[in-house]
Structure 1
Amino acid sequence: MKIVIIGNSGSGKSTLAKALVSRYALPYLDLDTLAWNNTVPPSRKPVSDSLIEIMSFTTANSDNWVIEGCYSDLVSALFCEISSSRSDTEITLVFMDLSAKDCIENAKNRPWEPHKYKSKAAQDENLAMLIEWIDNYDKRTDSLSRQSHDKVFNEYAGNKVRITERLPVERIIDLVTKSKT
C-alpha cells in the first residue's frame, strides 16, 4: 500500500497519515521534515535535494508507505521519478480538499506538533499566521495552493480520492483503501 496525501494546512493530512500508520504499520514521511533548510528564516530546499530524500525513503520502504504534505512540486517530482523507474508501482493519491472554514477549525484544535514546534505555546503563537495562510489557499498560485493541488490531482492517472468534507478518519481510510480510479 503506497499512499500520497495532499491538501491545505489543517485539512487532515497528518491525521489521516497517522491513522493509516496505526492501522497498517506503514512507514510515514511528512514532507515538512525535508522540504526546508534549517535557516532563520526558513527557506525551501531545492526540489531536487528533497526528491533525493523522498526517493531514499520510498526505496528503503519499497512495499508500503504513506507520504503527506502540501508540496505539489515534490509530489509531482515523486510521481515522475517513480513512473520512469518503477513501472509496477501503484500509488493512491488522496486530496484532502476541505473548505477553508473546516481547515481553520482543524488548525485551532490541532494537537502539538513536536517535529515543528518546541512547545504547544510556540505552536499557538503561530496560529494567527497559519489561519491567514489557510485562508489564502485559493488565492495563492504557488506549489502549496489549491490550484497546484487540483493540477496534480487532475493529471494523476492512478488511483485517487478527493475528500471534500469532514468525515471520521475511519471512513476516509475505507474510501482510500477501496479506491480505484
Structure 2
Amino acid sequence: MKVLVFGNSGSGKSTLAKQLAEEHGLAHLDLDSIVWEPGKIAVQLPAHTVAASLAAFLSEHSRWAIEGCYGELVQAASHHCTELVFLNPGLEACLEHNRKRPWEPHKYASKETQDGMLENLQSWVAGYYERQDQWSYHAHRQIFDSFAGRKTEHLSGSAVAA
C-alpha cells in the first residue's frame, strides 16, 4: 500500500495519513517536514533538497502514507502511489479544523508561536479556491482528475470513488 493524501490546509490530511500509517504499518511522511527549514517559520528549503528528500523516502520505503498540499510534490509522488486520496471538505471545514488544531511541535517551538501564525494561515487557506498556484484547488483538481489509478475524493464528510 502506497497512499498519497492531499488537499487544503485543515482538510484532515495529517489525521488520515497518520491513521492509515498506524492501521497498516506504513511509513509516514508529512511533506511539511521536507519543505520547511527546521526550527524556522515559513523558510523553505531549496527545491533540489526537497526533491532529494522525497526521492530518498520513496526509495527507502515500500509501503507508505504521504500527505501534503504541495502540488508539485504530490504530482511527483503520485507516480509511485497505489491510491490517491483528495480531501476536499470545503473552506469552512478547513478553517474550523485550523482553529482547533493542536500544537504541532515538529513545526513550531510553542503553541503560542503556532497560534500567532493562525491569522496568516487562515488567510492563505481562504484563497485556496481562487489561487492558481501549485498549492491551490486548481492544481489539486488537475492532479486528481488526471490520475488513472485508484482514487477517492472526500467531500464534506462523504467519499466519492473515481
TM-score by length of 2: 0.90
CA drift of 1:140 comes to 1.1
Determine which of 98, 121, 129 is the counterpart of 1:138: 129
Query: Is contact 1:37-1:45 (8 Å) kept?
Result: no
Cα separation, 2, equivalents of 1:118 and 1:49: 23
Partner of 2:44: 43
Cα separation, 1, equivalents of 2:125 and 2:105: 20
Residue correspondence of structure 1 range 82-93 to structure 2 within 5 A = 82=80, 91-93=82-84
CA drift of 1:132 comes to 0.8
SS in 1 for 2:125: helix
Cα separation, 2, equivalents of 1:41 and 1:11: 20
Question: CA deviation digits over 1:1-38, x for unaligned, max 9?
Answer: 10001100000000101111221221100001112345
- Supply the AA of the counterpart residue of 1:68: E
The answer to whether residue 26 in structure 2 is matched with residue 11 in structure 1 is no
CA gap of 1:160–1:57, structure 2 versus 1, over 3 A, is same
Cα separation, 1, equivalents of 2:3 and 2:106: 21
Residue correspondence of structure 1 range 100-179 to structure 2 within 5 A = 100-166=91-157
SS in 2 for 1:66: strand
CA drift of 1:162 comes to 0.3
Q: Which runs of 5+ in 2 are unaligned?
A: none
TM-score by length of 1: 0.81
Cα separation, 2, equivalents of 1:93 and 1:40: 29
Q: CA RMSD in A?
A: 2.0
Partner of 1:86: none
Cα separation, 1, equivalents of 2:123 and 2:41: 21
Query: Is contact 1:51-1:78 (8 Å) kept?
Result: no
Q: Which runs of 5+ in 1 are unaligned?
A: 83-89
Identity, % of aligned pairs?
38
Show structure 1 runs of 4+ deviating over 6 A: none
CA gap of 1:76–1:136, structure 2 versus 1, over 3 A, is same
CA gap of 1:28–1:41, structure 2 versus 1, over 3 A, is closer
More strand by share: 2
Question: CA deviation digits over 1:76-111, x for unaligned, max 9?
Answer: 12335x4xxxxxxx5201000111100001111111
Partner of 1:66: 65
